[in-house]
Amino acid sequence: MIMAIHHKVAEFTKWRPAFDEHEPTRAAAGITNGKIYQSKDDPNDVVILFDVADVQKAKAFSQSQDLKAKMRTAGVVGQPEILFQP
């Protein structure tokens, strides 16, 4: 299963360290192997693809207050789009 997150960030160079710091929390939820892509036209337009071991845990993580707080402090702008694909 793949989890895809698409969102804008205020500044990629400030967002990236916060993303990296959150790795242990994602791994505990079975969300691993994050691959980050930036739009060619807007480096603050970000898509992240993850491998997911347990869909229910990943969905709970994606709705968690912890993730919402981390995104807010990292500079995520607006509402992220989170999709799960087989």
- At 3 the pLDDT is 97
pLDDT at residue 77 in the model: 97
Q: Which domains does the chain have, with CATH numbers?
A: 2-85 (3.30.70.100)
Residue 84 has pLDDT above 90, yes or no: yes
Q: Tokens standing for 59?
A: 């969905």
Task: For the full predicted model, state whether its pTM sits above 0.85.
Answer: yes
Confidence bin at 86 (pLDDT 50/70/90): confident
Retrieve residue 34's tokens: 């994050």
Instruction: Give tens-digit pLDDT for 12-59.
Output: 999 999 999 999 999 999 999 999 999 999 999 999 999 999 999 999
CA distance 28 to 38: 26
